[in-house]
Amino acid sequence: MPQAALVGRGDERARLDALARAARAGHGGALVLRGEAGIGKSALLAHARAAAAGFRVIDASGAQFESELPFAALHRLCVPLLGGLDALPARHREALRVAFGLVEGTPELFRVGLSTLDLVAAAARERPLLCLVDNAQWLDDASARALTFLARRLDAEPVAVLFAARPSPALDRLDGLPALDIGGLDDVEARELLAAGSRTPLDEQVRDRIVAEARGNPLALLVLPRAGGFAPPAASVPSRIEDSFRARLAALSQEARALLTVASADPTGDPGLLWSAARLLDLDVAATSAAAAGSGLVEFDTHVRFCHPLARSAVYRAASDAERRTAHRVLGEVTDPVADPDRRAWHRAQACAGPDDDVAAELERSAARARSRGGVVAAAAFVERAAALSLDPAARIERTLAAVRAQLDAGATDTAARLLTTVENAALDELRRAQVDLLRGRIAFLRRTDDGGPGHMLRAAVRLAPLDAAKSRESFLDAFDMGLVVGRPDGVLAAILAAAPPSQEHDLLEALRLLYTEGHGAAVPLLRQVLDGPQWTARPGLAVMLASELWDPHAHAAIADWLVKVGRESGAPLVLRLGLAQTASAAVLAGDLGRAMAFIAEEEAIADASGGPPVRYHRIQLAAWQGRKREAAELFAASTVDAPGQLAANIHWPAAVLHNGSGEYKEALEAARRAVADGDLFLTGIALPELIEAALRCGEPDAAATALESLTERTRASATATGLGIAAYARGLVTGDEEHYREAVERLDDSPLLPYRARAHLLYGEWLRRRGRRRDCRRHLRTAHELLSSAGLEAFAARAADELRATGERARSRTGHTYDRLTMQEVSVARLVATGATSNEVAARLFLSPRTVDAHLRNIFRKLGITSRRQLRDLPELAQ
């Protein structure tokens, strides 16, 4: 379609030209052009294409009618590059082939973005690459996530990506990318464009009216003169533009309008499909296509292109319901059922005027295919439409429940809730009612503002008890999990204990019952039995809390290792992220902060790749143990400080650590009390030592003694050297008996939890100094300072240094850690390279391009004053 000359837009063109220059120099990037329909975004994309001398250009456009088909837009963008697929690593090659439907299988969704980056980077080795994505507000969810991932990682690639999008909630998926808001032309520019685009001279009054009505919208300035320049003042600019397009449509014959309606219903723009569909309608293809093209609304070439997305929309909306159904019917008939079964099913569904069980079954099969390719949004749309077309009541209920599950998987909580209300009053048996309760529970839990989730799960568990005992017990555990998160574990557990049927099962539910009714002494044997067997693998998050509740760092590390291994092998991002987060937490508690930083960086990379927010609790723990108040305060502020249950305690326990390390005991006591208030698994136990120390420093011995009783009951039952050692120094604080400090130092000597081992020496040294035993205290204070400073636990190390100075001895200053000079991502790169990993291997692990890895390495070498990968291996702090 011929483009009008670009008028004005000096600042916008400068921004686009700068993006192209940077990409040509190997520093790629992305830009989102945002603005209303017709404002000139497509014209700016055309300018970028024309100005990109020496670039290879690929393009795609979001399509309103296929926004539910997974990876549809990404596939169209990458079609010109698919010749390079075979050169990609096998795992990345297969991820794209499956995502694009070229082969069957289930893709590793969080690898599709990285695989796309590999494909694009490989193509850009020959010459710079420009990617143009128009109508990004209509991108399917999977494509939007993959393209956003790609756009964030181009800083070391000769690639520029330009998006053009109208304001829309869907635009949130491009959040974080640089954006440029495109406004209207000023009056001078508007008159210039109007004069250039008018076929005949305009009366001055008409011209002024058009300029005023268009409000600087370039498309309005070009199309309104064809309608005489007048439109209802109340109509929006896009509405007036669509009215102009509809006026052109009205002048065409019925046959030409029918051809345009079919073209508007097909987002692929495939002329072969269009001509085949037209023949089914007995249209004279030559005559009707010539008439349609003469309207200026559409161009027929190797692709069918409307002059503007609003023209396609205007044509489709102008058709009657019957005409649209006819268009979809013929498109469904000519779409290949083998090569493109899902689009065929969707056309057939749009052609239905009422229920059709055959089409519903076809949509159900499409939903299964979409789900296997990771298209949860598409699966939800397919199965919801299948439910609507189901004539059989039982099938309709089953498909509606499946649609609710699919919408929940897609994150559409409100849509799921709306669908669920359509079956709540139907005649349901007890099993279906239990399924409804389970779904209500999930909806309440995901809404976060509704704490009724555990109650729904409990009702489902009670309904399931006589029908499926195993499923019932799982539902009781689901209720308990939810209770932990929403802050009602005690009430939920009481309800579970009252409702759960008696069982001889030695399972997790029974272990929790013993823990909460008879205490740690009775529960620990069964808890250990559960953790030693395979049961915990179904609930690894709860298993981590139970291992920590037992003060068993070895079990905690083993579970985290298992999660990482299974996550890497299966490609399940949620499992891998949980494993990485827990490995980072274990590394913090072991005082290996470099390892913690490396795993935090990897977890954040996978979070970004899979489209989820990064986990914060391990970063909070790291900052707290490091004693970095400003960083910790920012993380506290970014988290929901007053969140209930586990979410809150995950903030309050590290806050108590931070304040105890800094000698701010009043603040530490307040945080510790909040951490233990709800009796959460793991977090209550690990916060008790902080509460005991802070309470004693604040002159509250009774509070410390009460906390010590609870800590003692827990650690004696678990009987690990780590737990007994920590309880021993806490007992020394409360009683003032030296034997307990000695016991703590002895028991913690082999503990993997370095910070607690160092604190035992610190507390013993402080106790000795206050009794005037200067020589004895120095030995423990030196040990504490050496351990704490070598690990980078700055606040506690400063406490030890102050104590040493009080004895007349100056603490030795430590040299800076390697990781102090690097970002988290650089630490992760350096540690992997130090093990011998290649740039390609590091790139795959951290979801970067090899060029970006090499750029990080150059920064690492500069910061550390080294020149080779081999020298990285000689730095002990980078050892894995």
Q: What letters, b where the CB count within 10 A reaches 16 and e where it falls short, cover 821-833?
A: ebebbbbbbbbbb
Q: How many CB atoms lie within 10 A of CB 120?
A: 24
Compute the distance between CA of residue 54 and CA of residue 351 in angstroms, rounded to an integer.
46
Q: What CATH number is associated with residue 143?
A: 3.40.50.300
pLDDT at 220 over 90: no
- Looking at every residue in the chain, the average pLDDT score rounds to 86
Do the bridges between strand 56-61 and strand 129-134 make them parallel or antiparallel, or are there none, so unpaired?
Answer: parallel
Instruction: Give the residue among 434, 498, 485 at the shortest CA–CA distance from 681.
Output: 485
| DSSP-H helix ranges across 307-391 | 309-318, 321-334, 341-350, 357-372, 376-388
Instruction: Clarify whether residues 34 and 158 are in a common domain.
Output: yes
Q: By the 8 A CB rule, do 39 and 217 touch?
A: yes
Condensed to tens digits (0 to 9), the pLDDT of residues 22-78 reads: 999 999 999 999 998 888 898 899 999 999 999 999 999 888 767 777 888 999 999
pLDDT single digits (tens) 75-92 = 999 999 999 999 998 888
Tens of pLDDT, residue by residue over 349-384, are: 999 999 999 999 999 998 888 777 767 777 888 898
Are residues 78 and 171 both part of a single domain?
yes
Q: How would DSSP label each residue in 118-158?
A: HHHHHHTTTS-EEEEEE-GGG--HHHHHHHHHHHTT-TTSS
CA 256 to chain centre: 46
CA gyration radius, the chain = 32
- Asked if the structure places residue 62 within a domain, the reply is yes
Domain match, 454 and 400 both = yes
Identify whether 715 is part of a domain. no
501 in the same domain as 369: yes
Q: Read off the pTM.
A: 0.78
The CB-based long-range contact list for 191-199 (8 Å cut-off, 24+ gap) reads 192/7, 192/8, 193/4, 193/7, 193/8, 193/218, 193/221, 193/222, 194/221, 194/225, 196/4, 196/5, 196/7, 197/4, 197/221, 197/222, 197/225, 198/225, 199/225
Domain identity same for 224 and 255: no
Instruction: Quote the number of domains for the chain.
Output: 8
Q: What is the pLDDT of residues 318-352, one digit of tens each?
A: 999 999 999 999 999 999 988 888 889 989 999 99
User: Which residue segment(s) compose the domain that 736 sits in?
Assistant: 720-812
Report the helix count and the strand count for the chain, using DSSP H and E.
45, 7
Q: Are residues 198 and 289 in the same domain?
A: no
Q: Supply the pLDDT for residue 229.
A: 38
Domain membership of residue 842 (yes or no) is yes
- Do the domain assignments include residue 66? yes
pLDDT of residue 568: 83
Distance CA 240, CA 230 (A): 9
Any domain includes 708? no
Neighbours of 575 (CB within 10 A): 19
Residue at 533 is within a domain: no
pLDDT of 167 strictly over 70: yes
The answer to whether residues 479 and 497 belong to one domain is: yes
824 in a structural domain = yes
Instruction: Judge if 177 and 192 occupy the same domain.
Output: no
Return d(Cα 332, Cα 341) in angstroms, integer.
Answer: 9
Whether residues 798 and 853 share a domain: the answer is: no
Residues 649-688 have pLDDT tens digits of 578 999 999 999 999 999 999 999 998 987 778 888 999 9
Shared domain check, 273 and 132: no
Shared domain check, 847 and 789:
no
pLDDT over 90 for what percent of the chain?
Answer: 47
Checking if the pLDDT of 108 tops 80, the result is no
Is 352 among the domain residues?
A: no
Strands, sheet with 29-34, edge to edge from the N-terminal-most edge strand: 56-61, 129-134, 159-165, 29-34, 179-181
Examine the pLDDT at 503 and tell me if it is beyond 60: yes
CA distance 328 to 325: 5
Q: What is the DSSP string of 253-280?
A: -HHHHHHHHHHHH-TT--HHHHHHHHHH
pLDDT of 2 above 50: no
Distance CA(277)–CA(328), nearest Å, equals 9
Q: Which residues contact 71 (CB under 8 A, 6 or more apart)?
A: 99, 100, 101, 112, 140, 142, 143, 146, 373, 375
Chosen domain end from 812, 833, 868: 812
**Last residue of a domain, which of 777, 795, 812?**
812
Q: Is the Cβ–Cβ distance between 607 and 449 less than 8 Å?
A: no
> Which residue(s) pair with 135 in the sheet?
none
Among 583, 615, 647, the domain-final residue is 615
What is residue 573's predicted lDDT score, i.e. its pLDDT?
80
Instruction: Specify whether 161 is located in the same domain as 18.
Output: yes
